[in-house]
Structure 1
Amino acid sequence: AETCKAAVQQFVNKLDAEVVKSLIFDNGAEFSALSEVTGTNLYFAHPYTPSERGSNEQLNGLLREFIPKGQSITSFSDDHIKQATAALNQRPRKLFGYKSANEFMAEQLLA
């Protein structure tokens, strides 16, 4: 929980509050200390309601292209994870007006 809290706080601190307006998490034990994170609005989804975490569920589905369901992420090399991350962040998304996540984030940071 403390590791997760530190990582989320570092992420929020790195980006402007206008970029990271809110974050949604499930109720896993690893997120139990997140109420201490400052600088953005944090929300916790209700149990068994994936519709409250739509973009997370969508990204999980895309990630299955690179890491099949049921396989531990620890069985993949750091290079494989980096390649998967890069591929997903370069893919155009309807949510971002058919820009990639990288393009969208760059625009937000320049605005």
Structure 2
Amino acid sequence: ELDVELVLRSGRRSRRRRRLPPDPRGRRTWVEGAELALRPPEADSRAVPGHWEGDLVVGSDGASCLVTLVERSTRFLLASRLEAHPSETVAGRLAEMVSGLPAALSRTLTWDQGVEMARWRDFAAATGFGVYFCDPRSPWQRGTNENTNGLLRQYFPKGTDFAAVTDAEVREAQDQLNGRPRETRGWRSPAEAMAGLLDSDAGGATTV
């Protein structure tokens, strides 16, 4: 039986950031083939679980961050701290974060067009997720994650240096948000909704 405590934490120091070469056409070529218009229509609905939205909450030093993932149907949050966010490090950490999920909860991930996701194919190959990118300057296309990141700011206000935050503090904030009842879910908490999916093997178009 899979526990809802899914976040994997690491004390490893991240590798030095390595920038991708500039795109001579001024385009973010890593997005090609993963545009939001190509995402399965079922991801637009909250009836089918397993569709996630993600982003980075970057610290005051410009390097340390929280990697955040939110499942759309349950609002369940996974959060993990990094001291730097080069694309290869982000891809690896994302794969760790979702490694305990069953296939039925590992359908798609929607992200913005940040360079930290330029190696999304590595993540997709390791996990089976489909990855899709929002249109430029369209944060509402991953609004569930945006709203959840706003709730995280109650614990880590703007100006927080995540290099000075402990993994235990991140885990405590995550667990408190997952345990908070939500009116949109009939006053069930995200943890309760996720547990219900896991107990039912997250089959088909389960509504939670």
Shorter-chain TM band:
0.7 to 0.9
Q: Deviations over 1:43-101 (max 9, x none)?
A: 11122111111011101110111011132222323332222111111112244433212
Name which of structure 1's ranges 61-70 and 28-37 shifts more when overlaid on structure 2.
28-37
> What's the C-alpha RMSD, in Å, of the aligned pairs?
1.9
Q: Is the 8 A contact 1:12 1:40 kept in 2?
A: no
Answer with 1 or 2: which has the greater Rg. Answer: 2
Are 1:9 and 2:99 matched, yes or no? no
**Structure 2: 5+ residue stretches without partners:** 1-86, 201-208
Q: Is the 8 A contact 1:66 1:84 kept in 2?
A: yes
If asked which structure has higher relative contact order (CA below 8 Å, sep 6+), I would say 2
**Structure 1: 5+ residue stretches without partners:** none
Q: Is the 8 A contact 2:108 2:131 kept in 1?
A: yes
Larger helix proportion of the pair: 1
SS, match of residue 99 in structure 1: coil
CA–CA distance in structure 2, aligned partners of residues 41 and 6 of structure 1: 16
Are 1:57 and 2:143 matched, yes or no? no
Partner of 1:22 in structure 2?
108
Are 1:103 and 2:203 matched, yes or no? no
What does residue range 79-90 of structure 1 map to in structure 2 within 5 Å?
Answer: 79-90=168-179
Percentage identity across aligned positions? 35
CA–CA distance in structure 2, aligned partners of residues 59 and 25 of structure 1: 14
Partner of 2:157 in structure 1?
68
Residue 95 to residue 9, structure 1, CA distance change in 2 (3 Å): farther
SS, match of residue 107 in structure 1: helix
CA–CA distance in structure 2, aligned partners of residues 60 and 6 of structure 1: 21
Q: Is the 8 A contact 2:110 2:133 kept in 1?
A: yes
Q: Which runs of 4+ in 1 moved over 6 A?
A: none
